[in-house]
Each structure stands twice: as C-alpha cells, then as structure tokens.
Chains A and B, each alone.
Chain A
Amino acid sequence: MIFSISWRNIWRNKVRSLVVISAIALGIFAGVFSAAFFKGMADQRINKVINTELSYIQVHDQGFRQTSDFTLFIPDANELTDRIRQIPHVTGVSSRMVVQSMIASAETASGVLITGVDPVNEMKVTNLNTKIIDGAYFENISKNPVVIGRKLAEKLNVKVRSKIVITIQDLQNNITSGAFRVAGIYSTENNMYDESHIFVRFSDLSTLSGFPENGSHEIAVNIDDSENLPAVEQQIKESAPEYEVMNWKELSPEMNYLTEAMDLYMYIFIIIILLALLFGIINTMLMVVMERTKELGMLMAIGMNKVRIFFMIVLESVMLSLVGGVAGIIIGAITSKIGETHPIDLSLWAEGYRQLGYDAFVYTSLQPELLVNITLLVMFTGVIAALYPAYKALKNDPADALRTE
C-alpha cells in the first residue's frame, strides 16, 4: 500500500513531475548516448590497432623491442610459426623482418620503419590489403614492390609505379641501398602510422640485407576471438619459452589505458549529470513535503511511524527518478543501437581525427552492464535526493503539522 501511495503521489502534480522526469530522461539519455559514442570510438581505435597495426600477439627475440637491434632475431622462425599455426583458435601467423631505414624519392627523403612480410601470410594477420586506396597490394610490380602510406606518398611526392630508394644497415653493419617501385598506397586513417610505415616483400628485404630466410624479427599472430587471447597466448609462451611473447595490451599499453580511462570518464560524466539532476529532485521533493505537511501530520497521528514515513518519501523520490531514468535509458539505448549500424558522420573534422588515429565515422558501442549500473546510480540518486526532504518531514510534530493550513 505504501508503494501505491508513493506511486500515485508522483502524479498528484503531473506538470511538476513531468518537468523533473523530462530533465532526468534527457540527462540520462545524454549520458547513455555519450558513453556509447566514446566507447565506440575507443573500440574502433583499438580494433584498428589490432587488425591493421599490431595483431593480437607478437613474438620477438629477447631485447629486440627495446633496442631494435637488427641482429636480434628468431633463427628458427619457420618451425616456430608452424607450431603456432597448430594451436587452436589461431587464424593466421606472419613472420616479419623489421628494420629502421631511410627512404628517398627524387624529391626528398624520410625515416621509416620497413616491415618485410610474406604478402599471403600477412593478409591472414592484418587487413592492410583492404586499406589500399591506389595501385595494388604487392601486385603488378614484379621486382621489389613496396606498399607505402598515403601521407608518406604525399610527403615524397610519389605515386603508384614511382621509384624510391631504401637504405638500410645490413647484418654486417654495412650501409646498403636498393631500388623499389611503389605497388600500392594504403590509408589507415591514422596519419602518423601512414607516414612512418612501409611494407616490402620479406624475400626482397632479406636479399638486400643478407638476413637469413628462416629468421624473423617478429612473428605476428591473429586469433578468431579476443576471448581466446589468454589461452592462445599461454600456449605460445609454452611453445616458445626462450622468446618474448606479448599480447596487444602489452605491446600498446596506451590502448589498454584508453579503454580503462574511457570507462572511468563515462562514469564521471554520468555522475556529474546525476549530481546536477540531484538538486532538481531535492527541490521537487522539498516542495512535495512542504505541501503535504498536514497530510504527513495526519499519517503520523493515525499511527504511521517515522520509518514508514521516511520509506514513503524515499520511495516516491526513487520512483520519480526511475521513471525519468528508465525513459532516458530506453531512448539512449535505442539511439545507441541505431548508431551501431548507422555511423555518426564526423567527416567535417576528419583530418583532425586522422591525426589522432581515430575514424571520422563513429559506430556507437552500447555496454549492457553500463545500463544496469546507470539504473542503480539513478536509484541511488533518488535515495540521496529524498534524505533532506524526508528529514524535514520527520522533524514535524504531528500536532503542529495538523494545525497548518
């Protein structure tokens, strides 16, 4: 019966209640949608890092990552890649040679990181082949093809079939150069990456540098589902205990921090919204209590104790908050769901987003647990908002309250 009284009390002053409910709904909608937007943005960035730049797991010789020392490589790479391919959930393995170098066109030169790959194996690990915007992925150029980023192509002023010269230090520490021809130009929508990473065939680079055919600086591994990452990583570690095995979170800790920080920011944002709404709800509940002084006095007179009065006021505040909160969550969830298939177009600011490595088209990503947590936070806000008004109500003496007009 107390539930029924509290619920009906909300609708005693419909206009006032609807104003508060609308404010809560709008605030929560903004919170839910913003959270889904930023989560989607972060997820896209992380997916891009995994699928285009890093892969899920990488294996290196001890010390290579810290020093980039050309001589620190895995000598028996073919055997190891074969063993890794046998591990369940592994969908692709690519053995790479990685070397810092200078690249020069007829006009200018630039420092880049060259990755020597087997094009067929690399396609199973990263999606660079789908990012080609001009030319082809290691095709149509028979000798020394190279795939370079859009930003670097602009910087060197080269196009498909242009000749460039790559200069590296070989295994004997001699400086050696080779002429390559641009087979394809890619764009990952990450300007920094596109400007500093080029790809050549492993065999061409090993010929130029004298690097052993069975050697590898980096073995990149792709898996079928991120949930299987710990198990696959563990098996690779057991299979190659002498090498450094790292997952994408360790390889790119900033991406991991990005996910954690984004979660934290989302909650801070929602709590700020709820704090602002809190004062509106307190104000409404104070008006409710003041208006009903006589009625509360009567209830106390006929035997409703303070606990029940307190419960009734808290319940009314929680119900008021929940009606608005649930409405906001539903609207936020629906719009976020639509945003999962219909991206939000930020192409007006595309260049800025590319500089930071983000896509200009953002697909929202809605987390169900976030909705549950927001519902709990809204309920908590309702309880907090009711405390002071309830305290004011309980301070009333029934005889004095009954005397009020």
Chain B
Amino acid sequence: MKVIEIKNLVKIYNGSEIEVKAVNGIDLNFEEGEFAAIVGPSGSGKTTFLNMLGGLDRPTSGEVNIGGINIWGLSSRKLIDFRMNNIGFVFQAYNLIPVLTAGENIELIMHLQGRPKKEREERTKELLDAVGLIDRLKSRPNKLSGGQQQRVAVARALASKPKFILADEPTANLDSKSTTGLLDIMAEMNRKYNTTFIFATHDKRVMDKAKRIVTIDDGKVVEDKWQ
C-alpha cells in the first residue's frame, strides 16, 4: 500500500546572486512498512528533501501526497495537525526537551493529540520497554547517554502512531555500539508496528540495514535500488 507519493518535487533557494536548485524534480513513492535510506554526498539535497517530505520546508513546486492528501495544499494550521498525527521525526541531535523526563518526552506528543492520560502512560511504558529503557522512565535527558537519548527520540517518534518516521542522520552523533543497538531497535519497530522508516544518511551501517537505498545527487534521484 502506497504511503507517500512524490511528484516532481522542486526546491530552489534564491541567494543574493545565485539560484540554487537543492531538489530538482524528484518523483518517488514509498510503501507501507518500508525501511529506506536516502543517501548521497553532503549538499546533495537529502535533508531538504526529507524536510519537504515531513511538511517542514515548503517546496518551490511539486506535490507530496500522504495517504492521498497533498500536504502542501493544507493550511499551515492543518499541516501542523497533519504532522502531529501522521509523521514521526528523529533528529540528529536527539532534540529531547531537557526539562522533561524520558517518559514525559514521549508522552508530550500524545498529550498534544488529546489522548487520555491512562492511554498515554500505558503507551509510554510500552514504547520505553520496546527501546529497552523502561528503567529510565523518570530520567531527564542529561542523565542519559547519546544512544539512550536517541532511543527515547525513536520512542517519541512512534508515540503518535504515525504513518511513517523520518530520521535525519540519526546515527551521526553515536558510537558504533549505540548505532548498532539503535538500528536493531528501529528495525524491530519497523517489523512490530509495520511503520515506514525513511532515513537521510551517509552512514554505511544504516545503508547496510536498509532494504531500499535511494541515492540523490545534485537534487536528483540517481539510483533507487532494493537490497
């Protein structure tokens, strides 16, 4: 089942003297349950592409259809709600809220969704258990290692039961052991919940784990292969 349909996506940055085409006419589809990596050299347009896919960066032209809805046709208010209910984000720098505990960081998005407290608490525990951090429920981010923080971030991304998760360089700040652990957990989540994972990365270990590799260069898809 098609989760994301991208049609002729273009993003042009207008500098003071020069026009930069960060994304130059990408057409792509992603199916439910995919575990895909967008790869390419620095400046190839991976992050810009991912931001447009996640409703964070408005494209110059083209469409991003998620579940049949062109997200860039939505009002900004509806787009925020759409992101909250359909897209999970994992960032390179974890971006957990430092004043909230691991559990509260996961619970926050469900609170924004207006889910009942009991349901929130149960799902928070379930997700923390799934990422192997149930004993750190009440720990604040500064008491967690980088790998642990990123696992909490993955649990947070899954909390809203999104259609897919976008992870921008999720292993860039992690050591080898933490990276392996995190990838195993994400692969497990992908299997368990059938959630689509799309990574922007140039980490070989992520590429090895991905089932599909989309290579972008100069804002264009130069290769799209399954492995």
Contacts and interface: CB of A to CB of B under 8 A. Distances in A.
Interface of A: 1, 4-5, 8-9, 11-12, 294-295, 298-306, 308, 397-399, 402
A1 B111 contact: yes
A112 to B, nearest CB: 74
Nearest to B83: A303
A378 to B, nearest CB: 24
A301 B89 contact: yes
Given A1-B111, A300-B80, A398-B56, A295 B160 contact: no
Nearest to B77: A305
B57 interface: yes
A8 B145 CA distance: 22
Contacts of A308: 112
Nearest to A303: B84
Contacts, number: 62
Nearest to A12: B99
Contacts of B54: 301
Contacts of A4: 100, 104
Contact of B91 (A9, A298, A300, A397): A298
Interface of A is mostly: helix
23 contacts: A1-B107, A1-B108, A4-B104, A8-B100, A9-B99, A11-B99, A12-B98, A12-B99, A301-B54, A301-B83, A301-B89, A302-B83, A302-B89, A302-B156, A302-B160, A303-B84, A303-B85, A303-B112, A304-B112, A306-B80, A308-B112, A397-B57, A402-B91
A302 B97 contact: no
Nearest to B120: A1
A328 B95 CA distance: 37
Nearest to B156: A302
Contact of B95 (A8, A298, A303, A304): A298
A294 B95 contact: yes
A398 B85 CA distance: 17
Contact of B81 (A5, A294, A295, A305): A305
Nearest to B157: A302
Q: Give 8 closest A-B pairs by Cβ, nearest first.
A: A303-B84, A8-B99, A399-B56, A298-B95, A399-B57, A1-B111, A399-B51, A305-B80
A399 B52 CA distance: 9
B9 to A, nearest CB: 15
B95 A295 contact: yes
A125 to B, nearest CB: 66
A302 B84 contact: yes
A357 B113 CA distance: 67
B109 interface: yes
B183 to A, nearest CB: 22
